[in-house]
Structure 1
Amino acid sequence: MTTETLYPVNGIELCAQTFGDPADPAVLLIHGASASMLWWEPGLCKQLADRGRFVVRYDQRDTGRSTAYPVGEPGYAMSDLAADAVGLLDALGIDRAHVVGLSMSGGTALFLGLDDPSRVASLTFVSTTTGEDGLPPPSESMPRLGTPDFADRAAVEEYVVRSIEAEAAGHFEEASARALVQADQARARDYEASLTNHYAMTFDGPRNGGFGDLTQPVLVVHGDQDPLLPLPHGEAIRDAVPGARLVVLAGMGHGLSAPYWSEFVDALIEHTGEH
């Protein structure tokens, strides 16, 4: 594991960290809305590195130590987040990477696969969606948490911890979730921007089509208890992409909780070893 490093990319700064041997196939991990690199926990990254992958995790704009924008005024689009990923690969000297996009960042992964296909060896979509009409809404069990008082650090911490609990579908560990949120707050340039700005950015679309136009090998990983994006969202990606493979993790909610790391790593190692 390297130390965290700030890289100048597209006129901003992105903070990134790598695990493993740079000579191994690169895996670029892109977490979802509001989530810094810390949400790709070191234990998971080390499992992948120990299996022969060079793992890159990073803070997208408005998360962690990367450039933050005024709250509610991000001034960028999803296409810019995709361009940042390419710029980071350039900064790290990586020609092609196996790209993993989780939740919102499935959209970023889609951009990369369609608009920068030469940089993408394979794609993995975790707990994400095609966004098409007719897919089921979030479960009625999801609580309405409202908006925290951002002047109250403890209230913000509690809000995010409870959000993790709501999405976890029973696989929730209070102490580890709270430690993650506290670490995230401590290193963020602006934690209110982190929790706000990804939802306020422009959600544009790729230039070169949609899921059905992807040419890279595609793996879809989804929990069958996902309360935010129920399983039909993952099934829709599988059905949209010719040759895509769906791995359903029984009992998993939204995101990638620790009890499922081993199954996920096995699937990703197999997927990324074929290309």
Structure 2
Amino acid sequence: MTTVAPRVERRSRANDIELAWDSFGDPAGSPLLLVMGLGAQMVAWDDAFCARLAEAGGHRVIRFDNRDIGHSTHLTLLGVPDIQALMVQAMAGQPLRTPYNLRDMAADCVGLLDALGIERAHVVGASMGGAIGQEMCIHHARRMLSFTSIMSSTGAPGLPPPTPEAMAVLFSPAPTTFDAYQAHHAKVWRILRGPASFPLDEARDAEKAQLVFLRGLNPAGVARQLAAILASGNRKPALREVRVPTLVIHGDDDPLVPVACGVDVADAIPGAQLLRIPGMGHALPIPMWPQIVDAIAAHTARHAGS
């Protein structure tokens, strides 16, 4: 594993909150913003992965904690939504009232670009981060050079659901003691990585769990993020009007967001390219970094000034 120098974490005001962020690569490089998924801190973008991405594409790679997670603002005063009630309302086609939605989180991204003095950036989003990136494409396209959606969905009705095991870990509360959290973290990722074995990743689970735990957990914030996903509904009709150059990456063995969801994203966005990766689940496993990084670097190079 490549050793990467420790990052200097900063906080910037964006969209009336504060976002914690750090960066990799040449500060003068073409900016690339990484947007992470539900309940995931920015460190879920592995340091070595970010360094490879910066080197391969000549990018200034920026990762950040979404609102309500990690070291970014926790919106405690907004309360804890009733997820079960929201799911019932969503299935009934009723409008949802939630603390915020994914469009607000896309505005956070734009606010961070503003704070960093960046006019346009390549955007790479994973899972919920991919949905946030889609909202950027719909509402803030002029701020984007390109978009890469990884293991995400349009939110359209009728798409395949998660496996029961993946659904169970999605809704399992994180323990509040470190030993219990470490075991919980390993179980979650063992399921989300899918049926294949990834010894290199599994060997680092304890280290990753410690890093996340020490940066701080916010279960209420995860619930608010999940409510935001539910409230944001079906983006597919709006995505048909998107003209941001798009690459879709999805694993064939994704248990949480099945590959048909990624195919749907690629079908919805005109001109989108689809890269299906055999054996990849709902994770970015170390053996697949070269393929993922090379695909993103090639995509951003083709649209460096689009």
User: Same fold, TM exceeding 0.5?
Assistant: yes
Task: Map 1:72-151 onto structure 2 (within 5 A).
Answer: 72=80, 75-140=99-164, 142=166, 144-145=168-169, 147-148=172-173, 150-151=175-176
Equivalent of residue 190 in structure 2, options 161, 165, 170: 165
Percentage identity across paired residues of the two chains = 37
- Does structure 2 retain, via aligned residues, the 8 Å contact 1:79–1:206? no
Give runs of ≥4 in structure 1 deviating > 4 Å.
205-209
The answer to whether structure 1 residue 38 and structure 2 residue 46 are counterparts is: no
> Which residue does the alignment assign to 1:196?
223
Closer, same or farther in 2 for the Cα pair 1:154/1:121, shift >3 Å? same
What is the SS of the residue equivalent to 2:244? coil
The runs of 5 or more residues in structure 1 that have no matched partner are none
The answer to whether structure 1 residue 176 and structure 2 residue 200 are counterparts is: no
- Once residues 266 and 60 of structure 1 are traced to their aligned partners in structure 2, the CA distance between those partners, rounded to angstroms, is 26
- Does structure 1 retain, via aligned residues, the 8 Å contact 2:154–2:234? no
> Which residue does the alignment assign to 1:217?
245
- Does structure 2 retain, via aligned residues, the 8 Å contact 1:5–1:16? yes
Q: TM-score, normalised by structure 2?
A: 0.82
Post-superposition Cα deviations, 1:108-155, rounded to whole Å, max 9, x if no partner, equal: 101111111110111111001112222222235547346347444433
The answer to whether structure 1 residue 235 and structure 2 residue 235 are counterparts is: no
- Does structure 2 retain, via aligned residues, the 8 Å contact 1:148–1:159? no
The runs of 5 or more residues in structure 2 that have no matched partner are 82-97
Closer, same or farther in 2 for the Cα pair 1:208/1:231, shift >3 Å? closer
- Does structure 1 retain, via aligned residues, the 8 Å contact 2:41–2:66? yes
The answer to whether structure 1 residue 4 and structure 2 residue 9 are counterparts is: yes
What is the SS of the residue equivalent to 1:210? helix
Q: CA deviation at 1:214?
A: 0.8
Q: CA deviation at 1:50?
A: 1.2
- Once residues 174 and 31 of structure 2 are traced to their aligned partners in structure 1, the CA distance between those partners, rounded to angstroms, is 40
Q: CA deviation at 1:253?
A: 0.5
Closer, same or farther in 2 for the Cα pair 1:131/1:143, shift >3 Å? closer
- Does structure 2 retain, via aligned residues, the 8 Å contact 1:115–1:208? no
What is the SS of the residue equivalent to 1:165? helix
- Does structure 1 retain, via aligned residues, the 8 Å contact 2:154–2:236? no
- Once residues 35 and 181 of structure 2 are traced to their aligned partners in structure 1, the CA distance between those partners, rounded to angstroms, is 23
> Which residue does the alignment assign to 1:186?
214
- Give the AA of the match of 2:172: T
Q: TM-score, normalised by structure 1?
A: 0.91
- Once residues 158 and 133 of structure 1 are traced to their aligned partners in structure 2, the CA distance between those partners, rounded to angstroms, is 34
Closer, same or farther in 2 for the Cα pair 1:171/1:37, shift >3 Å? farther
Higher helix proportion: 2
What is the SS of the residue equivalent to 1:27? strand
